[in-house]
Amino acid sequence: MVIRLKNTEEIIVKCHVCGGRLEPTISDLPFCLGPTSIVVIKKLPVLECSNCTEFSIEDPVMEKVENLLEQTGEAAELEVIAYAA
């Protein structure tokens, strides 16, 4: 991912694991809420490394994920919800 600053300088976002380039993509990711409860969030915008496939979630997206996870209960073993921007 390349971020362009106002002064035309570019910043390439790099993977914290291997240093590869992070590219925006859409993925389905599981989140463990407890010892027996998993929530899968579908169509989640993430940054994925083009080299090692490690991913990163940007802060505004993670805030929304946290809100979604707070609304789910730990009663269900598996819950699947869609991310809506």
Q: In the prediction, which pLDDT does 75 show? A: 77
Q: In the prediction, which pLDDT does 7 show? A: 56
Q: What is the pLDDT of residues 1-55, one digit of tens each?
A: 545 445 555 567 889 899 999 999 999 999 998 888 999 999 999 999 989 989 9
Helices (H), the chain: 59-71
* The CATH number fitting domain 2-82, selected from 3.40.605.10, 3.60.10.10, 3.90.1200.10, 3.10.20.860: 3.10.20.860
Name the more confident of 34 and 57: 57
Q: In the prediction, which pLDDT does 13 show? A: 83
Category of 77 on φ-ψ map: left (φ > 0), alpha (ψ -120 to 50) or beta: alpha
